[in-house]
Structure 1
Amino acid sequence: MKILFIEDDAIETMKLDRTISKLQVKHTIIQANNGEDALKILTDPQNIPDIILLDLNMPRMNGIEFLQILKSNPTLKYLPTIILTTSENRTDLKECYKIGIAGYVIKPLKYEDYEDKIRKVIAYWEVNELVKA
């Protein structure tokens, strides 16, 4: 799978890379530091991911703003987008589902719990029939 990971925190990026490498699978991670960078990446048809893992709290363009643009694009709106965030705010959760996300995952504090959640998310999307826009 090709995974677009939109996250501004370098430590979170290292955690995801470490977790993916432990899974011993050959997934490609494309990194974007914010929503604006992610939209630029998505203009190249070669970079269209199978899934997007999106943080909500980012500079320049937050995750909800990115989602609104993504889901208004007739080609990109079908990309499964999973929120990966520290935000337990119910308003954020409801707004994200209203816009059209595929999942909302709270980042746990312990690395072992983070690894377990990412493993489950990846396992689900490995067996899911993905829609290619």
Structure 2
Amino acid sequence: MSSDRPILLVEDNPDDEALTLRAFGKNRIPNEIVVARDGVDALDYLFGTGRHAGRDLGIMPAVVLLDLKLPRIDGLEVLRRIRADSRTALLPVVVLTTSREHQDIHEAYSLGANSYVRKPVDFERFLQTVGQLGQYWLSLNEVPESRFD
């Protein structure tokens, strides 16, 4: 697994955050999990601004797990800004959300999401889903080098 690079979890719901962190632990995913609780914090982390000023921008997330319904800046706008900047345009972004809205799915893919996954309500299914996400995005998927120079 690509355990040297963190996972950026962008999630404002404390219960969903706790479930996701627990699922990563149960699936023995060794990557550091960085949690951003709103869109502004996610962008600050990615671009080294705000409370994340001075962080090593040479270490980008292996994958961004992005909720859509976020305070301050919603997930679709976060995705738009990730794809608009050459430094982050190629980061793998998985939308991980409860939204079943066809418009959200269509817009997420139109903006360049790599995948759209609905959060299962059942914890055992959620564990399985997170394990599969970890296996694919951290073990099997190849990503280009970071563009932060």
Residue equivalent to 1:9: 13
The match for 1:27 among 31, 34, 37 is 31
What are the within-5 Å matches in structure 2 for residues 1-133 of structure 1?
1=3, 2-44=6-48, 45=57, 48-125=60-137, 126-133=139-146
**Runs of 5+ in structure 1 lacking a partner?**
none
Tell me the alpha carbon deviations over residues 92-118 of structure 1, each in whole angstroms, 9 at most, x when there is no partner: 101110110110000111111111111
Q: Distance in 2 between matches of 1:88 and 1:21?
A: 27
Distance 1:15 1:25 in 2: 14
Distance between the aligned counterparts of 1:91 and 1:56, measured in 2?
12
Letter of the 2:80 counterpart = Q
Counting matched residue pairs gives 133
Contact between 1:78 and 1:132, CA under 8 Å: does it hold in 2?
no
Q: Is the 8 A contact 1:35 1:62 kept in 2?
A: yes
CA displacement at 1:25 relative to structure 2: 3.0
Shift, 1:47, TM fit:
5.0
Residue 132 of structure 1: CA displacement?
Answer: 2.3
> Aligned letter for 1:10?
P
Unaligned regions of 5+ residues in structure 2, if any? 49-56
- Relative to its length, the structure with more helix (as a share) is 1
% identical aligned pairs: 32
Query: Aligned to 2:95, what secondary structure does the other structure show?
Result: strand
TM-score (norm 2): 0.85
Deviation at residue 128 of structure 1 after TM alignment: 1.1
Q: Deviations over 1:31-59 (max 9, x none)?
A: 00011001111123055211000000111
C-alpha RMSD of the superposition: 1.1
